[in-house]
């Protein structure tokens, strides 16, 4: 069976890597939420060998992630655990969390559940990096993001590009501070949060 494939992951992984490497310099155990195909995981684990990279996703994506990990194994890369944001997280504590292109896919209550999970499972001083598109002051940052949002809403009315202000408020209530907000290609951002206590 052919592996699932994301062209976006192939396009963005080289741009994201240096920012993750910088943010996760002092991290050891990372949880990825919503690993998707697993393409980010194989690239990032290989290039950040000091990190134990734990993939996760809803069960439907596990087979594809296994296929990518089987073809591109790393000693620091681990097969997916079932993490569905509707349920408690099946981990104790990590010192790094990464999630790409998830917050605009899941419903707002699940975005809230994501930050509750980060608050519960990220160690003090741990880093959380989130990649994806965001709106600023209620506005899309590009016409293509506005079009993308329309496409998302037609597919699932509960999904949609989130306002950065709402995200940082949720994060603050979860004990996280926004350290950096990097501009990325294709109208995306890389948000870097630190867990304060």
Among candidate residues 187, 194, 192, 178, the one with its CA nearest the CA of residue 12: 187
Q: Taking CB under 6 A as the rule, does residue 152 contact ligand SAM?
A: no
Q: How many residues bind ligand SAM (CB under 6 A)?
A: 19
Comparison of 4 and 175: residue with beta carbon closer to ligand SAM: 4
- Which tokens hold the place of 174? 């979860």
Comparison of 86 and 144: residue with beta carbon closer to ligand SAM: 86
Q: Taking CB under 6 A as the rule, does residue 36 contact ligand SAM?
A: yes
Residue 45's φ and ψ, nearest 5 degrees, are -65, -40
Helix axes 164-173, 108-121, angle to 10 degrees: 40
Query: What's the closest the beta carbon of residue 86 comes to ligand SAM, in angstroms?
Result: 5
| Kind and range of the H or E run holding 77 | strand 77-82
Q: Which stretch binds ligand SAM (CB under 6 A): 33-41, 71-79, 120-128, 161-169?
A: 33-41
What residues numbered 55-114 form the site for ligand SAM, per CB under 6 A? 57-58, 61, 83-86, 100-102, 105-106, 110
What lies within 8 Å, CB to CB, of 55 at 6+ separation is 32, 35, 38, 41, 65, 69, 77, 78, 79, 80, 81
Please report, as ranges, the residues that interact with ligand SAM according to CB under 6 A: 6, 9, 34-36, 40, 57-58, 61, 83-86, 100-102, 105-106, 110
């Amino acid at each position: 069976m052919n592996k699932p494939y994301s062209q976006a992951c192939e396009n963005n992984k080289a741009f994201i890597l240096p920012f993750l490497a910088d943010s996760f310099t002092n991290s050891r155990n990372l949880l990825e939420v919503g690993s998707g195909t697993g393409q980010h995981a194989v690239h990032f684990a290989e290039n950040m060998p000091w990190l134990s990279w734990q993939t996760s996703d809803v069960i439907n994506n596990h087979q594809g992630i296994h296929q990518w990990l089987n073809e591109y194994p790393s000693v620091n890369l681990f097969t997916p655990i079932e993490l569905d944001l509707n349920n408690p997280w099946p981990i104790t504590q990590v010192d790094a969390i990464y999630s790409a292109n998830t917050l605009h896919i899941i419903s707002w209550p699940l975005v809230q559940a994501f930050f509750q999970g980060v608050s519960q499972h990220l160690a003090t001083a741990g880093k959380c990096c989130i990649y994806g598109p965001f709106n600023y002051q209620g506005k899309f940052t590009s016409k293509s993001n506005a079009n993308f949002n329309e496409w998302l809403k037609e597919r699932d009315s509960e999904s949609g590009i989130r306002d950065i202000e709402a995200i940082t408020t949720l994060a603050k209530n979860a004990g996280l501070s926004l350290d950096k907000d990097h501009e990325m290609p294709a109208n995306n951002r890389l948000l870097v949060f630190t867990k304060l206590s």
